[in-house]
Amino acid sequence: MSAQNDYSFFQSVEKSFDKAAKFTKWDPGILEQIKACNSVYQMRFPVKRDNGSIEVIEAYRVQHSQHKSPCKGGIRFSDEVNQDEVMALASLMTYKCAIVNVPFGGAKGGIKINPHKYSVYELEKITRRYTSELVKKNFIGPGIDVPAPDYGTGEKEMAWIVDTYASLKPGDIDAAGCVTGKPITQGGVRGRKEATGMGVFFGIREVCNMPDVMAKQGLTTGVEGKTVVVQGLGNVGYHSAKFFRENGAKVIAIAEHNGAIYNLAGLNEEEVFQHKLKTGNVLNFPGATNFNKTTDALEFECDILIPAALENVINAGNAARVKAKIIGEAANGPCTPEADEIFAQKGILCVPDMYLNAGGVTVSYFEWLKNLSHVRYGRMEKRFTENMNTRILTQIEELSGKQVNETERKLIMHGADEHDLVHSGLEETMINATREIVEVWKSNPAIPDMRTAAYVSAINKVATSYAELGIFP
């Protein structure tokens, strides 16, 4: 058996945790409490298929930590779902929320199905039954545990969840806050769909804007002109590619599970996505060259590699062949601990998933706050801001005798709407988190990599919460 398979995903997370814990001051007992999953709910329930047969569905919900309430974490539909994976993802959520200063504990859920093999009606029945099981055990609620979309789920499933919850909790005025990632019409927030990919961009951009960090990688400051390879053209990979391209980087390769392509002149993610919709994969995209193997894209020479699919795609077996100077982990756990060691030896900077893909939970936090406040962001101040900006601009033009052109006038007069405020809050969150992690890394030269620095930051914040609560005097 190869080295990378000697332990599970959860054990891999624990290994990274233990590696970082050595650089903290906390009592071993506190560290053990932080590391442990507090609650694991494994369930089985029957569902009647469209053909009349009965199928028993396996599902999970794990609450890793309640140092902050509620718990927060997505629900994935995949036939690869198992308890270990859900525990690992729940623990990563705890650390992720701590790093980006989102006041949630970590949680995760999963249903062991391939959603492509079920009709929409069957998926609705499964989702609603899963929700009712969570309600029975008090594993869901705006102040208890707030799910969100993950791999294999989206707005549709979240709408079913909130509707089921509200029907079982009549009169709960905050029922919409029981889940995030909902359609706008059901209490969702504008900007949620692109949030994770945008967060990946903001995080990498901030790293690229640090001259000393870029000098070590042999790169110039800023993202403009840098070559990017994106693995996975789902929601996260698509939007990551989009924001890098729109800000001057060049996306030279895109990989999917059933094919990969490259074009050194650059690829447009929307055009590739439309080609995928028509043909079923990205292969034979006009102007691009097919890779012999999909995994070859991970080893393609570039400045920035964005793995945005599933875990463990870069491991002891292929890490030595990775030629990227920066790896931005958009997926959960795409690189194993052995890969980290190889990256350290090669001088590759790996920007860790546990904060880099926190854009989703950050904007989910904004959505949750919106649901509790019962008012859309920008509704109270947008027109007031526009009116004030108009008056100020008019006064400046009268005093200066010069007129501002129409494009500049619109920009100056614009009052922030929900999209603007959500994107601004996400940008602020990712910039601050990046700076905090890099500061921890720089403050202790013995910390070997950015992932360990991120874990140190997370451990310190969670442990401080416990200490301030008086749980550990």
Where among 137, 152, 186 does a domain terminate? 186
Look up residue 218 and give its amino acid.
G
Judge whether 215 lies within some domain: yes
Instruction: Say which CATH number the domain at 220 has.
Output: 3.40.50.720
- Same-domain status, 152 and 268: no
User: Is there a single domain that holds both residue 200 and residue 347?
Assistant: yes
Give the model's pLDDT for residue 200.
97
Supply the pLDDT for residue 397: 87
Q: Is residue 74 domain-resident?
A: yes
pLDDT at 91: 95
**Are 59 and 114 in the same domain?**
yes
Residue 302 resides in a domain? yes
Query: Are 102 and 237 contained in the same domain?
Result: no
Residue 124 lies in a domain: yes
Of 143, 162, 186, which residue constitutes the final position of a domain? 186
365 found inside a domain: no
Q: Domain check: are 67 and 160 in the same one?
A: yes
CA distance 468 to 466: 6
**Residue 6 pLDDT:** 65
Query: What's the pLDDT at 470?
Result: 66
Task: Tell me: do 199 and 342 sit in the same domain.
Answer: yes
The answer as to whether 403 is a domain residue is no
Domain range spanning residue 326? 195-356
- Examine the domain organization and report whether 261 and 241 are in the same domain: yes
> Cα separation of 401 and 8, whole Å?
70
Q: What is the pTM of this model?
A: 0.91
- In CATH, what number is assigned to the domain containing residue 152? 3.40.50.10860
Positions marked active-site: 108
Q: Rounded to 5 degrees, what angle do the CA atoms 109, 111, 117 make?
A: 145
d(CA 375, CA 330): 31
Residues 329 and 210 in one domain: yes
The three-state (H, E, C) secondary structure of the chain, written as one string: CCHHHCCCHHHHHHHHHHHHHCCCCCCHHHHHHHHCCCEEEEEEEEEECCCCCEEEEEEEEEECCCCCCCEEEEEEECCCCCHHHHHHHHHHHHHHHHHCCCCCEEEEEEECCCHHHCCHHHHHHHHHHHHHHHHHCCCCECCCEEEEECCCCCHHHHHHHHHHHHHHCCCCCCHHHHCCCCCHHHCCCCCCCCHHHHHHHHHHHHHHCCHHHHHHHCCCCCCCCCEEEEECCCHHHHHHHHHHHHCCCEEEEEEECCEEEECCCCCCHHHHHHHHHHHCCCCCCCCCEECCCHHHHHHCCCCEEEECCCCCCECCCCHHHCCCCEEECCCCCCECHHHHHHHHHHCCEEECHHHHCCHHHHHHHHHHHHHHHCCCCCCCCHHHHHHHHHHHHHHHHHHHCCCCCHHHHHHHHCCCCHHHHHHHHHHHHHHHHHHHHHHHHHHCCCCCCHHHHHHHHHHHHHHHHHHHHCCCC
Per-residue tens of pLDDT for the chain, all 473 residues:
334 456 788 988 898 899 999 999 999 999 999 999 999 999 999 999 999 999 999 999 999 999 999 999 999 999 999 999 999 999 999 999 999 999 999 999 999 999 999 999 999 999 999 999 999 999 999 999 999 998 899 999 999 999 999 999 999 999 999 999 999 999 999 998 899 999 999 999 999 999 999 999 999 999 999 999 999 998 899 999 999 999 999 999 999 988 999 999 999 999 999 999 999 999 999 999 999 988 899 999 999 999 998 778 899 999 999 999 999 999 988 998 889 999 999 999 999 998 999 999 999 999 999 999 999 999 999 999 989 999 999 999 889 988 889 888 888 888 889 999 999 999 999 999 999 999 999 999 999 999 999 999 999 999 998 877 665 54
Q: Please give the span between the terminal C-alpha atoms of the chain, in angstroms, as a whole number.
A: 45
Last residue of a domain, one of 341, 356, 371: 356
User: Do 237 and 347 belong to one domain?
Assistant: yes
Q: Are both 214 and 171 inside the same structural domain? A: no
Query: How many Å apart are CA 23 and CA 17, to the nearest integer?
Result: 10
Angle at 442 between CA 65 and CA 92, to 5 degrees: 20
Check whether residue 225 and residue 178 sit in a common domain: no
Residues 6+ away with beta carbon under 8 Å from 294: 255, 256, 257, 258, 259, 260
The verdict on residue 290 lying in a domain is: yes
pLDDT of residue 267: 96
What gap in Å lies between CA 131 and CA 151, rounded to an integer?
17
Give the chain's domain count. Answer: 2
Q: Kindly state whether residues 282 and 349 are assigned to the same domain.
A: yes
